[in-house]
Amino acid sequence: MKNYKFYLSDIDDDTSLKNASSIAVDGEFSGLDPKTDRLQLLQLCDGSDFVHLIKFEKNYNAPNLKNILENNRIKKIFHFGRADLGFLKQHLNINVANIFDTKIASKISRKFSSRHGYKDLCRDLININLSKEYQTSDWGKSIEEYSEDQITYACKDVLYLHRIRSELEKILKRENKLELAEKCFGFLETRTSLDLAGLTIDIFEH
C-alpha cells in the first residue's frame, strides 16, 4: 500500500484535510494510560483511499492538527474514541469537536449483536475481513523502522470508518436512535475529562 504520507509532529498547513467534510481518526499508543503513556502515531483519512500519518516523537506541538480537529464544521469519525480523545487532550491539549463514534453507534443500533469491535463492524457491515496482527506493535520506532505490513495495518484502521459510519447511520435512522447516539457522542468530551481526572468508573451507577 503506497497511498499514504508521513508527517513529523504535525500535518502541513496546506493539507487537503482542512477542506474535508469528515475525517476518520485513529491513534496508536505506547500503552493505555494517557497520563503515563505516549501518543506515538495518529492516522487521518478524509474518506478517500489516502491516509495521513503523523509520527510523534518528543515534540507534542501540532497547531495545524489542533485547528482541524477542533473545527466544528468537520465531522470526526472514531472507533472507541474515548481512548484517542484522552491522548489528544492530555498530550496536545486538543478538544475534538463534532464526533461520530462507530462503537457507540453500533452498541445503540445493533442490540442484537454482542460484537462491536472494529474488526467485527468491518466484517458485518461492509464485508471486509481484517487482521489485527499488528495491534500490539511497537509504534515508538522511527518511521524508517516501520514495516510495510505495519503501515498497512495503521492505514486500514481509518480507511473503512466512513463506510461503517454510513451503514450505522442508516440503522440509527431506521430505528429512530440517531438523536440518542448524537447525544452520547456529545458526552465524550466530558467522559474524557472524567477519565483524565481519575474518575474512570461509571459515575451514574448506584
Element (H, E) at 167: helix 161-174
Would 203 be classed as within a structural domain?
A: no
pLDDT at 133 over 80: no
Q: Looking at the 3D structure of the chain, how many domains does it have?
A: 1
Would 121 be classed as within a structural domain?
A: yes
Would 12 be classed as within a structural domain?
A: yes
How many Cα atoms within 13 Å fall on the side-chain side of residue 188? 29
Would 65 be classed as within a structural domain?
A: yes
| pLDDT score at 161 | 99
Pairwise CA distance, residues 155 & 157, whole Å = 5
Would 25 be classed as within a structural domain?
A: yes
The region that residue 96 occupies, defined by phi over 0 for left and psi between -120 and 50 for alpha, beta otherwise, is beta
pLDDT digits (tens, 9 = 90+) for 62-95: 999 999 999 999 999 999 999 999 999 999 999 9
- pTM of the predicted structure, to 2 decimals: 0.96
Would 201 be classed as within a structural domain?
A: no
How large is the angle between the packed helices 118-126 and 102-109, nearest 10 degrees? Answer: 60
Q: Domain with 145 in it: what CATH number?
A: 3.30.420.10
Mean pLDDT across the chain: 95
Query: Containing domain of residue 152, as a range?
Result: 4-196
Would 171 be classed as within a structural domain?
A: yes
Would 137 be classed as within a structural domain?
A: yes
